[in-house]
Every structure is written in structure tokens, then in C-alpha cells.
């Protein structure tokens, strides 16, 4: 390889590096989500039984009754995909991740604040949605999958075809709605696979996001693009 050719290759690689690595999302370089033991405080190895069995989740059908208010009392309320239920007069109310009693109290509070004096409200789950979780990011087959009591983080990612070639295994995030708040935690997939860290349970409503490795992506792009740019050649 001539010196000029070597210089051209170096310039091309530097430009590639600035393009691919320099534009990596901030979250990939400075992730604020808790990791290590702090991650398991948010997403435990075994989800609490009441969180799995009694908490409302997206897709559930609810019966909401307000004594003396027939227009508000229905048995076909549905929790939408974002976790809210639409209630006349008061609008959107967060339902996913809370218990029927907590939802009842919030509806009564809002109605009582402006519309109805001392409202008598009841809430019950009439039909359970299938427990589903989503896998996004750097996996072979991102999508929505069904969860059961045996679904763990490793199993969830395996259902999505496992991490792809540019996945950052130390940047696997799990998001969950707890008490009406969307919380997240970060896990290292390699440590879980090797048994050095526990494999947390994934439940319905969770979202798993596998991060992007800028360095892996850079070298993949170099390998795939270099022949097109004729960067390498054999010296005879």
C-alpha cells in the first residue's frame, strides 16, 4: 500500500468514525438509569405478586360505577396502550400499574374536586388483557410478545431473536409502570448469562430496550462499506 493510499484510508476511517460514533445518542454514552444492585430495586428478580395479579394493565376492561350517575357508570371502559382510561368529565386517568382501589380513589378525588359532591365510586377489572411485553432496539426481531410467570429478561430477549451484531449487551434497559410512574433500570446481559448477575422477571406491560454499540456499529459499517469505496486492495 502506498503512503498516499494509506493516508487516504486513514482520512476515510476518521471521517467514518466521526459520522458513526460521534452521532451516537447521548443515552448510549451517559445512561442515567440505575444499574447493578440499584437496578434490581426497581425491577426485582421476582415481581411482587400483587403487581402481577392485581394491578391494572394496558388492554384491561374495567367496570367503573358512580352512584347516581348513569352516564359515568359503564362496564366497557378500556385501558389504552399508553396506560390511561378515558373517563367523562375528568378525562384521562392513569390506570396501568395501579390497583383498582387506587384508581377508584383517584377518580373519586377528581370528580369530587369539581363536579360531584362526595362521589361514591367503584372500580373492578371485568376482563384481563393478555400479558404482553415489548422488545425494542438492537435485536433481530423486535416486537410484542406474551409474558407468563416464567418469563425473564434472558427469555424475553431470546423471543425477540437475541441481540444483533451491533447490540450493546451492557446497555439492556427495562421500563415498567409502577404506581402510575414509568420507571427504568439497566442490566448487563453478559453478566446475567454467565451467572454473575440475577435474571429479573419480565411482566405484562414491560418494555425491554437493547442499546446500540457505537464501536460495533462503526466496524460493521467499515467492513460493509470499505469494498464499495475501494479502500483496500492487494499490493502485488
pLDDT in the model for residue 68? 95
Query: What number is the average pLDDT over the span 144-160?
Result: 94
> Using one digit for the tens of pLDDT, what is the confidence trace for 170-194?
999 999 987 778 899 999 999 999 9
pLDDT in the model for residue 92? 96
Q: Whole-model pTM above 0.85?
A: no
CATH number of the domain enclosing 114: 3.30.1950.10
- Whether residue 121 sits in one domain with residue 68: yes
Choice between 227 and 131, residue whose per-residue pLDDT is larger:
131
Report the distance separating Cα 90 and Cα 112, nearest Å. 10
Q: Which of 112, 127, 142 is the last residue of a domain?
A: 127
Longest dimension (CA), the chain: 92
> Using one digit for the tens of pLDDT, what is the confidence trace for 95-137?
988 899 999 999 999 999 999 999 999 999 999 888 889 999 9
The count of other CB atoms within 10 Å of the CB of residue 229 is: 12
- Whether residue 84 sits in one domain with residue 44: no
Domain containing 159 equals 27-50+131-212
Query: What number is the average pLDDT over the span 17-26?
Result: 44
CATH number of the domain enclosing 152: 3.10.560.10
Q: Which of 75, 105, 127 is the last residue of a domain?
A: 127
> Does residue 236 fall inside a structural domain?
no
N residues, the chain: 236
Amino acid at each position: 500500500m502506498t503512503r498516499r493510499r494509506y493516508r487516504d484510508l486513514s482520512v476515510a476511517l476518521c471521517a467514518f468514525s466521526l459520522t458513526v460514533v460521534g452521532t451516537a445518542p447521548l443515552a448510549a454514552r451517559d445512561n442515567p438509569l440505575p444499574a447493578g444492585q440499584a437496578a434490581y430495586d426497581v425491577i426485582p428478580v421476582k415481581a411482587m405478586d400483587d403487581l402481577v395479579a392485581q394491578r391494572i394493565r394496558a388492554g384491561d376492561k374495567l367496570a367503573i360505577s358512580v352512584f347516581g350517575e348513569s352516564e359515568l357508570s359503564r362496564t366497557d371502559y378500556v385501558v389504552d396502550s399508553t396506560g390511561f382510561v378515558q373517563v367523562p368529565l375528568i378525562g384521562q386517568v392513569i390506570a396501568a400499574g395501579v390497583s383498582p382501589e387506587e384508581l377508584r380513589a383517584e377518580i373519586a378525588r377528581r370528580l369530587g374536586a369539581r363536579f360531584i359532591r362526595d362521589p361514591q365510586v367503584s372500580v373492578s377489572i371485568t376482563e384481563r388483557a393478555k400479558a404482553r411485553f415489548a422488545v425494542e432496539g438492537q435485536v433481530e426481531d423486535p416486537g410484542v410478545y406474551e409474558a407468563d410467570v416464567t418469563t425473564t429478561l434472558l427469555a424475553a430477549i431470546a423471543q425477540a431473536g437475541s441481540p444483533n451484531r451491533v447490540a450493546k449487551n451492557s446497555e439492556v434497559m427495562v421500563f415498567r409502570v409502577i404506581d402510575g410512574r414509568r420507571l427504568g433500570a439497566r442490566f448487563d446481559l453478559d453478566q446475567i448469562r454467565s451467572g454473575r448477575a440475577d435474571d429479573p422477571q419480565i411482566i405484562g406491560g414491560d418494555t425491554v430496550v437493547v442499546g446500540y454499540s457505537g464501536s460495533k456499529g462503526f466496524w460493521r459499517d467499515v467492513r460493509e462499506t470499505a469494498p464499495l469505496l475501494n479502500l483496500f486492495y492487494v499490493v502485488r
